[in-house]
Structure 1
Amino acid sequence: MKTPTRPKGEFTGRHMLIIMLAFFGTIIAVNLTMATLANRSWTGLVVKNSYVASQQFNEKAALARAQQALGWRGELTIADGTVSYRLTDRSGDPVSAEAVRMIFRRPVSEQGDLTLRLARAGTGAFAQTIKIADGGWIVEILADIGQPDPYRQVERVRVTGGRIR
C-alpha cells in the first residue's frame, strides 16, 4: 500500500508546533533576560515601609517649605580630591553650622554608596579629602544648624574626572 503524499507547501501540525514554540520561546527568553537585568541593576527598595513613609510625607513637605522660606543657599563642590560645602543665607553671609554630613548614593544601585562627615574649613565652610568615583550621584547634605531638624539639601550631580560637571 502506498502512503499518501502531501502537496508541496501544505501547512501541517508540525509547522504550527514550530511557530508556537518559536513565538512563546522568544517571549519567555526576553522576559527572563529583562527580569535578570532588572534584578542585577536595582534593589527595588525605595523605602522600607511605604505606609510609614506616606504618613511622614506631610511633615517632611512642611519642613521643606519652611527651609525654602529661609532663602539659604548651599554650594557643593567636588574638585581635586576634595568635597566641600558652603551654606550662605539670603544676603550671602555664611550660615553657622555645627557639622555637615553627606550621603552619596548611586541613582540605581547601592554599590559604592558612602557617607562623609565633613570637617570645618573656615566660617560656614566644610570639606573632606576623598576621591569620589566618576558617574551619577544623588547627594543628600545634612547640615546641623542647631535646630531639631538639620538643614537638608539634595542634589543630583555627575562626577567626571573627579569634578562635578
Structure 2
Amino acid sequence: MKGQITGRHVLIMVLGFFAVTITVNAVFITQAFRTFRGEDVPRSYMQGVAYNETLAAREAQAVLGWTAAADARLDGVDLVITDRAGEPVTGLMLAGRLRHPADANRDIVLSLVETEAGRYAAAYVAPPGSWRLVVETDGEGPPFTINRPLWLR
C-alpha cells in the first residue's frame, strides 16, 4: 500500500522533530553565552556591602557644587566642569570610560586631558548607539564622579 504511515515513519518524524529542536536550542544557548555572560558588574556583592561609602562620596560631591556638561560624539568627548560660581575647575586628574550597556568587553577607556581651563577632552572611535559615560577623579583631590547615559549618532 502506497502512502501508509507506519510506526517506523512516526518514530523517524518524532526523532527528527526533537533533533531539530535540540540543535536550534544548542545554537541559541551558545550564542547567548558568547554575547552576554550575565553579570556585567564585577564584584557586585562587594559594591552592595560598601554602599554607605558610595553614599558618603555622593554627599561629598554634592557639597562641592561642581557640575559637568558633556558633549559626546562618535570620535570624542568634551567635558566642561564648573564650580558653584560657574568658574572652571582646573587641574583635575580624570579617569574615564565609555561603557557599553550590555557588554563590558566593548568598553572604551578614555584618556582625558585638560585642553583649556575646566575643559577636558578625550578622543576615541565608538560605534553609534547607547553608551554610558563614566568619569571619576583618580583619587587625588576631592571625589567627583560623572555617570550619565549617552546616545551616539
Hey, what does 2:152 align to over in structure 1? 159
User: Which of structures 1 and 2 has the bigger CA Rg?
Assistant: 1
How far did 1:140 drift? Answer: 0.8
How far did 1:141 drift? Answer: 0.8
- In structure 1, distance between residues paired with 2:67 and 2:12: 65
Among the aligned pairs, what percent are the same residue?
A: 31
Stretches of structure 1 that go unaligned for 5 or more consecutive residues are 161-165
TM, length-normalised to structure 1: 0.69
Q: Out of 4, 22, 35, which is 1:28 matched to? A: 22
- In structure 1, distance between residues paired with 2:148 and 2:41: 19
Hey, what does 2:87 align to over in structure 1? 93
Matches within 5 A, 1:1-165: 13-68=7-62, 70-79=64-73, 81-128=75-122, 130-136=123-129, 137-143=131-137, 146-147=141-142, 150-160=143-153
- In structure 2, distance between residues paired with 1:65 and 1:28: 53
TM, length-normalised to structure 2: 0.73
Aligned-residue RMSD, C-alpha: 3.1
- In structure 2, distance between residues paired with 1:27 and 1:61: 49
Number of residues paired by the alignment? 151
3-state DSSP of counterpart to 2:72: strand
- In structure 2, distance between residues paired with 1:51 and 1:16: 52
3-state DSSP of counterpart to 2:135: strand
How far did 1:146 drift? Answer: 1.4
* Cα separation, partners in 2 of 1:29 and 1:120, compared to 1, 3 Å: same
How far did 1:151 drift? Answer: 0.7
- In structure 1, distance between residues paired with 2:24 and 2:58: 43
- In structure 2, distance between residues paired with 1:113 and 1:139: 10
The question of whether the paired residues in 1 share the 8 Å contact of 2:70 and 2:77 is answered with yes
Deviations 1:56-77 (A, max 9, x none): 2232234235434654321111
- In structure 1, distance between residues paired with 2:56 and 2:69: 23
* Cα separation, partners in 2 of 1:56 and 1:38, compared to 1, 3 Å: same
- In structure 2, distance between residues paired with 1:15 and 1:29: 21
